[in-house]
Amino acid sequence: MNIAFPAFFLLALVLPGFIFLSSFSRSENTKLDHRAFDSSSASALFIAAFLNAVWVYLASSFGKPVDFELIIKLITGAKLSDTDTSQLASSVPEVWQYFVSIFFSSWLLGNLFQVAVTYLFPYKDSFFAFDTPWYYELKGFLSKEKDAQLIELSCLCDNKDGSYLYYGILVDFYLDTNGQLDRLVLSNVYRRKMSDDDEDSNGAGHAKPKEFDQRYYKVRGDRLILKYNEISNINIEYSYFYEVKEE
């Protein structure tokens, strides 16, 4: 038997585990923060073994029992007899149905589990939280007690004309292909040039509202887009609204 066939067949058996993990995992740092190979592989192998056990049981329940002796021969590359070859040839449609159904179900289950975990455990402090720090920080999903309804950002940007501070309400954010923060979208934005910053005699900055502070001026427009690679630092301000019942 061709030595590539056992490897291909073994790969087909373990592939459902990797398909499930790929569709379930939700990660921002897809290139800079890899999991250890043995950790992810062990999880994929365990999931693949479980899914194959379920599919073998379902196949037997529908009157299509799996010939484990033939499977062992295929995996080990042992020589097949004429009977084995005939049996394998006659089972091609069932084999295709088996693998197509388990591959699709692995992908579907992974996505369903991701939606379930996101809905049931939406906060960053959850044990089941995904590796998505930007998502939790910029959505305000820190904990059940700290679920922000309004997020305001102060972004310090450097360019050839100097450093500018942009202050506004976070509307949206986008990630690049590497999972890193790419752009921030702000509304109701105020801007101030840091070189024009004046302090009082005690060295403390003024704490006036932005619309009354002479150091700031309103940026016209509905949405201001800032590139992350032009931002030196970001200050996040969370606002929480609580309903107070009048006695």
Residue 27 has pLDDT above 80, yes or no: no
Torsion over CA: 224, 228, 229, 232 (sign)? positive
The length of the chain, given as a count of residues: 247
Alpha-carbon gap, residue 95 to 103, rounded angstroms: 12
Residue 16, judged by CB atoms within 10 A of its CB (0-12, 13-18, 19+), counts as buried
pLDDT the model gives residue 200:
43
Higher pLDDT: 195 or 28? It is 195
Partner residues linked to 181 by β-bridges? 175
Q: What confidence tens digit (pLDDT) does each residue in 146-166 have?
A: 778 899 999 999 877 788 899
Q: Look over the chain and give the mean of its residue pLDDT values, rounded to a whole number.
A: 80
Q: Is beta strand 231-239 parallel, antiparallel or unpaired with respect to 224-227?
A: unpaired
pLDDT of 13 reads 86
User: Is a pLDDT exceeding 60 seen at residue 34?
Assistant: no
**Residue 210 above 50 pLDDT?**
yes
Please, what are the domains in the chain?
4-120 (no CATH), 133-239 (2.30.30.100)
Q: DSSP string covering 117-136, please?
A: HHHHS-STTSTT--B-HHHH
Residues 155 and 236: their CA atoms lie apart, in Å, by 9
Going by pLDDT thresholds of 50, 70 and 90, the confidence category of residue 223 is very high
Q: Which amino acid is at 143?
A: S
Distance in Å from the first CA to the final CA of the chain: 83
